C-alpha cells in the first residue's frame, strides 16, 4: 500500500480564533478537492474548536500541538486527550523540539503521551531530530534512534500502526536552513530501519515519516518528491493560506 502523505501546519503560538477562522476561510477553497495528501492544521488550544468547526466536512483535519498524558487531574494549564476528542480534533503533535527544549519534555514523557494518544484513537505525530552539535559530532543516527526507542517503549506493533513520525532537525526549525533532500532521506532511512528493527518490516514500510524544518513553497517539491519523505510539518510557511496551499500542492 502506498503511504498517503500528510502535510501539516504547526501554527505554534500564533493566531487568535478570529485569525484561525480567517485562515480556514481563505485556505479551504485553495485546497478543495485535493486528495493526494492528507492535510492537517495544528492551532493553539484556544483556536482548536474554531478550526474544527471551520474545517468540518472538508478534506482538512485538526489537531493539537501538545496533549497531556494523564486522563484528567490537577495539571494546571494542560489539555487531556478526552478534551481534544470532545472538541472534535483527531491529531496531536507529541515531543516537538520546542516542547523538549523549553518544557523539559523527555523521551519518557513522549512515551507516556504516545500511550495515551493511541489509547484514545488520536493520530500522534511524534517529532524527533538532532541538534546541530549532535550532527556535527556524527551522532545524528544515535540521537534519532534513542528518541524513537524511548518513544516506542511498551507500545505493541498492533498499537503502533497509526503513529506518524516527523523528522525535524532542530537546526533547521525556524532558521531558514533546510536539510538537503539527501540529508532528509538519509535520516528517514535511519528512522525506517530503526522502526523495522522494533516492529518489523511491515509496520516500518507503512510508517509515514514527515520532514519538518524551514519547509517553504520553493523547496517543498525537492523534499516531497523523495520516495522516503511522506509529507511535511510546516511552521512559519503555514501561517499564510496561499503559502501553505502552495506547499500542499507542490
Catalytic residues: 96, 168
Q: Are 67 and 94 in contact (CB under 8 A)?
A: yes
CB nearer to ligand PGA: give 63 or 235: 235
| β-sheet bridge partners, residue 12 | none
**Neighbouring residues of 144: CB distance < 8 A, sequence distance ≥ 6:** 128, 129, 130, 167, 187, 190, 191, 194
Residue nearest to ligand PGA (CB): 235
Closest approach, Cβ 95 to ligand PGA, in A, equals 11
Which residues in this chain contact ligand PGA in the complex, by CB under 6 A?
10, 168, 173-174, 212-215, 233-237
CB nearer to ligand PGA: give 24 or 213: 213
Round to whole Å and give the CA distance between 235 and 216: 9
Closest approach, Cβ 237 to ligand PGA, in A, equals 6
Closest approach, Cβ 94 to ligand PGA, in A, equals 12
Closest CA to 191 of 233, 145, 152, 150: 145
CB nearer to ligand PGA: give 212 or 241: 212
Q: Are 38 and 6 in contact (CB under 8 A)?
A: yes
Amino acid at each position: 500500500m502506498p503511504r498517503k502523505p500528510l502535510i501539516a501546519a504547526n501554527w505554534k503560538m500564533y493566531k487568535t480564533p478570529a485569525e484561525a477562522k480567517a485562515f480556514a476561510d481563505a485556505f479551504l477553497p485553495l485546497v478543495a478537492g485535493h486528495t493526494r495528501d492528507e492535510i492537517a492544521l495544528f492551532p493553539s488550544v484556544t483556536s482548536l474548536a474554531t478550526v474544527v468547526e471551520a474545517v468540518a466536512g472538508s478534506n482538512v483535519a485538526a489537531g493539537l500541538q501538545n496533549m497531556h498524558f494523564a486522563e484528567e487531574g490537577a495539571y494546571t494549564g494542560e489539555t487531556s486527550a478526552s478534551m481534544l476528542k470532545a472538541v472534535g480534533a483527531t491529531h496531536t503533535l507529541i515531543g516537538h523540539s520546542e516542547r523538549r527544549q523549553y518544557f523539559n519534555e523527555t523521551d519518557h514523557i513522549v512515551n507516556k503521551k504516545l500511550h495515551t494518544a493511541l489509547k484514545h484513537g488520536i493520530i500522534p505525530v511524534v517529532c524527533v531530530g538532532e541538534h546541530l552539535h549532535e550532527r556535527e559530532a556524527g551522532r545524528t543516527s544515535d540521537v534519532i534512534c534513542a528518541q524513537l526507542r524511548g518513544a516506542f517503549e511498551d507500545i505493541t506493533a498492533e498499537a503502533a500502526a497509526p503513529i506518524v513520525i516527523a523528522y525535524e532537525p532542530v537546526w533547521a526549525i525556524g532558521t531558514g536552513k533546510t536539510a538537503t533532500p539527501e540529508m532528509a532521506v538519509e535520516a528517514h532511512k535511519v528512522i525506517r530501519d530503526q522502526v523495522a528493527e522494533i516492529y518489523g518490516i511491515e509496520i516500518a514500510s507503512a510508517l509515514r515519516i514527515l520532514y519538518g524544518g524551514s519547509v517553504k513553497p520553493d523547496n517543498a517539491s525537492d523534499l516531497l518528491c523523495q520516495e522516503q519523505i511522506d509529507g511535511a510539518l510546516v511552521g512559519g510557511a503555514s501561517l499564510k493560506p496561499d503559502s501553505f496551499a502552495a506547499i500542499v500542492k507542490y
